[in-house]
Amino acid sequence: MNEYHKVTDIKDKDFVASDFDKIDTITVFLAELDWKNGHALYYKGEVRRLLKDRDRFRENFERYLDIQKTLGDRLPAGAEAGACYRSAEGYCKERTGWILHLLANDFYQEGLQENDRNKKRDLFERALKQAEDVWKYFPSGFAPGKTTKSTRDLETTLQNELVALGRQIKK
């Protein structure tokens, strides 16, 4: 979506809600037409992620993933992001993989901040499951970003963290 990139291409931190006014208008409109629209859920989630609204970011991305699972054979076969933009529904394999990648990184970051050992383990296990699922949708995984580890590094780090917490990793 061009409006999203107009914001993120010139700014990479310290976002405020008004940065995304045009995007919010578009996503609200799309969601009113079809509450299951993958474009709306994805961009709502991305905006909330950049605004550091963890609950709403996760809510939108988890809703996207729940709906995506129901598409079965209707999920565009191409792994590239262009498949999403050619689809009115707004679902594709690369976007699904990217969402899993972002959620895995987010649960990992939350786990790092958690002091309770059991909660930390639960967060790391959830992150690891999502990182492992990335490969199903985007076989090359994702490179590191400004705020994320690469899929491969994240998976390795989580396995090591879980071993340190006393969990046996199945290979």
Which residues are CB-neighbours of 25 under 8 A, at least 6 positions away?
none
Tens digits of residue pLDDT in 88-142: 788 988 999 999 999 999 999 999 999 999 999 999 999 999 999 999 999 999 9
What per-residue confidence (pLDDT) applies to 71? 83
Tens digits of residue pLDDT in 32-48: 988 889 999 999 999 99
- DSSP letters, 26-43, are HHHHHHHH-TT-HHHHHH
- DSSP letters, 48-88, are HHHTT-HHHHHHHHHHHHHHHHHHGGGS-S--STHHHHT-S
Instruction: State the pTM of this model.
Output: 0.89
Tens digits of residue pLDDT in 54-87: 999 999 999 999 999 998 766 665 556 677 777 7
Measure the CA angle with vertex 65, ends 27 and 82; round to 5°: 65
Question: With 60 as the cut, is the pLDDT of residue 170 above it?
Answer: no
What per-residue confidence (pLDDT) applies to 79? 55
Count of residues making up the chain: 171
What per-residue confidence (pLDDT) applies to 86? 76
Query: What is residue 9's DSSP assignment?
Result: T
- 15, 33, 124, 153 from 163: Cα distances, Å: 36, 47, 11, 15
Domain residue ranges in the chain: 1-91, 93-171
What per-residue confidence (pLDDT) applies to 75? 65
What percentage of the chain carries pLDDT values higher than 90? 62
The burial of 86, by beta-carbon neighbours within 10 Å (0-12 exposed, 13-18 middle, 19 or more buried), is given as: exposed
Nearest-angstrom CA–CA distance, 149 and 77:
26
Hey, what are 20's tokens? 């995304």
